[in-house]
Amino acid sequence: MKILLIEDDKFYSKQIKVFLEQRLEGVEVDVIHSYEEYKNLDNLKEYRYVLLDIFLKDCMDECGLVDDLIAQNLPIIIITASEDMEVFDRYNRKKIIDYVIKTDMVRLEYLIMKFKILQFLEKYGVLLVEDSRSYRNYLAKFFKIYYPYANIMLASSKDEAMELLSQNDDFIKLVITDYVLADNSTGLELVKEVRQNYLFDDVAIIALTALDINNIMARFLKSGANDFLEKSFNNFEFVCRIDNVVKSLVQFEEIKTYSNKDYLTGCYNRRYLYDAGLKLYYSLKRLDKDVSIAIFDLDHFKKLNDTYGHFAGDMVLKHFANILQQSIRGSDFVVRYGGEEFLMFLGSCDKEMAKSIVEERVRKRVREEPVWIDGEEVYYDFSCGICDSADTFEDLIKKADEKLYLAKKTRGVTIA
């Protein structure tokens, strides 16, 4: 994701650039310092967002830069030292994404979280449930102003919403529902059913209603909604409520990532294998799909450590892990199974296809791409055991491990 930062304070712009690129995965920040530089840009379509200081030395507030960016459909986050409410209200009416006061590091942390929220809503889905077609479409368009790359789905009734959730399991992460829904159903019934199937860290819910009659809002919250909004909301109340709820989902996901991944290599760990991997295995088996497990062991790794040192050993582990992760499809995953052992989970893949992946993708790159250690090319190799047939998930892993033991005798690949 590329971000364009327009800021005339060179020290502050460098600070923001470093902060964003270090803290946000896959983010690249280009910096310009004036309106004149902006006018000389060849291509703005490559940028996902624009961070804009509205008081540039050659463009003070009303020079037309904001309107020009809006006309080109570029989402804008304003950064400014001004806390003038008149300025705030003026840009609020222009429907910028957000407005950040650049006074301290706390604001930079806010900016980091804002981009994490935007990335999260680009990665996952939002379900809007409302019986009125006109208001449903209005809400979707309004949502897109402040979260321009969000994946929005629409439903009018409880049953339609639950069907979409079922069809998009692990994709829809936020549900916004009115109280009155089509087919004589209610948002309250929807919230209760969602909570019977999804935890708070799986799906968040925001209740929406015109009037709080009979303590509807309190009943929503007690039934499992995360927050609520009255339909008379203003722009920034809407954004703040959405941000606060999605922020909790982002933090839940980060905690899961930290607890499920190996710090050194970025691969998943055994906890993830026997939790998410087990569920995925049985889901694929119910569909009568093959599942292959490939277990890898780096050959002569102790000798490599003894020769070059443990830092070099870590470099090799990271190098190999990177090759493994780049060799799989989006639905597959790699686990650091032991010290120098790795496991590859391959869904909808039989043992012959798995062997082809190992030899043609993994081994080919390992042999062609050495690790550079103190200016020296260091090569390594691996053994691998593969299995695609067993009565249980645990047996599948055990059989692949047994095949790895045989493979180590020949320094090759053995399949069951």
How far is residue 212's CA from residue 219's CA, in Å, rounded to a whole number? 10
The amino acid that residue 47 corresponds to is Y
Residue 265 placed within a domain: no
Residue 7 placed within a domain: yes
Both 160 and 290 in a single domain? Answer: no
Q: Are the beta carbons of 5 and 51 closer than 8 angstroms?
A: yes
The single-letter DSSP state of residue 361 is: I
Q: What pLDDT score was predicted for residue 61?
A: 60
Residues of the chain with pLDDT under 70: 61-62, 104-106, 212, 412, 415-416
Where residue 69 sits, what CATH number does that domain have? 3.40.50.2300
Both 401 and 296 in a single domain? Answer: yes
Both 85 and 25 in a single domain? Answer: yes
Both 67 and 203 in a single domain? Answer: no
Q: Which of 262, 143, 120, 257 lies closest to 206, judged by CA?
A: 143
Number of domains in the chain: 3
Domain range enclosing 85: 2-111
How far is residue 360's CA from residue 344's CA, in Å, rounded to a whole number? 15
How far is residue 176's CA from residue 187's CA, in Å, rounded to a whole number? 9
How far is residue 403's CA from residue 295's CA, in Å, rounded to a whole number? 9
Where residue 386 sits, what CATH number does that domain have? 3.30.70.270
Structure confidence by residue, pLDDT tens digits, 62-93: 678 888 898 899 999 998 887 778 777 887 78
How does DSSP assign 259-284, residue by residue?
HHB-TTT--B-HHHIIIIIHHHHHHH
Query: 353 CB contacts (<8 Å, ≥6 apart)?
Result: 292, 346
Q: Which residue has the tokens 């996901």?
A: 253
Q: What pLDDT score was predicted for residue 297?
A: 96
Helix runs in 72-183, H state only = 85-93, 105-123, 133-146, 158-167
This prediction's pTM:
0.75
Both 153 and 241 in a single domain? Answer: yes
